[in-house]
Amino acid sequence: MNLDESGTSAPMRRAGLVDQAAERFREAIVSGRWPVGERIPTEPALVSEFGVGRNTIREAVQSLVHAGLLRREQGRGTFVISSSELSTSLERQLAGGSREHYLELRLVLDSAAASLAARNRTESDARLLRELCAQRQASWEADEPDERARADLALHSAIVAATHNPLFAELYASMLAVFAVHMRDERSEDEDAAHRNHRELVEAVVGGDAERAAAAVTSIFDPFMR
């Protein structure tokens, strides 16, 4: 948000008021001032804070509804549903993909992430990956599809984080909702082999072996792609 020295929002120029208001609202969402899942301030409060008319506020809010960041709920108000327009756009695109397309995309992304993580991981990353790998295996004992998907994606997301490439991390995070849907229905016929392959992946990343890490990802996805 652009604030003046008093801590209140600086007045907006007359030209392009809707665009300026929408950008201020977007900044509030991205910064976390308006968290995902929370209701944004009421229309009168926004008018008072930003010093523009109701019509400008309504049009600015509507533009972010169309962008997929906000959702209006009758009788309740307007809620933040995403902090990334990239995430919303990708979710819409990926939702229409086939199982084969999903697996091919995961193979490419996870292989690249494993290779980069093997080069860039820290000791802290290594400890976390081993912990998450153990949690992933334990989640299979509960036989809860959602929990299995959560534990599996937590491990793969941590590998992406270990690349220390913020662009890669943001891209991968924007796809997690779709990945989770597909993961609920994926279950290896040889679960012991799947667990071994994930342990191999983690140890390759921890050991700094990029080629071995990428090969482990292929071993993980290959049974599903036959």
| Confidence band of 9 (pLDDT split at 50, 70, 90) | low
The model's pTM is: 0.63
| Confidence band of 123 (pLDDT split at 50, 70, 90) | very high
**E strand segments, 36-163:** 70-73, 77-80
How many other C-beta atoms lie within 10 A of the C-beta of residue 151?
A: 21
Domain locations in the chain as residue ranges: 17-82, 87-225
| Confidence band of 5 (pLDDT split at 50, 70, 90) | very low
Architecture in CATH for domain 17-82: Orthogonal Bundle (1.10)
Q: How does pLDDT run across 80-98, given as a tens digit for each residue?
A: 877 666 666 666 666 666 7
Superfamily of domain 87-225: GntR ligand-binding domain-like (1.20.120.530)
Q: How does pLDDT run across 152-183, given as a tens digit for each residue?
A: 988 999 999 999 998 898 788 777 777 777 66
Arithmetic mean of pLDDT, 121-147: 90
Helix (H) or strand (E) holding 31: none
CA 115/CA 120 separation, integer angstroms: 9
CA 66/CA 163 separation, integer angstroms: 33
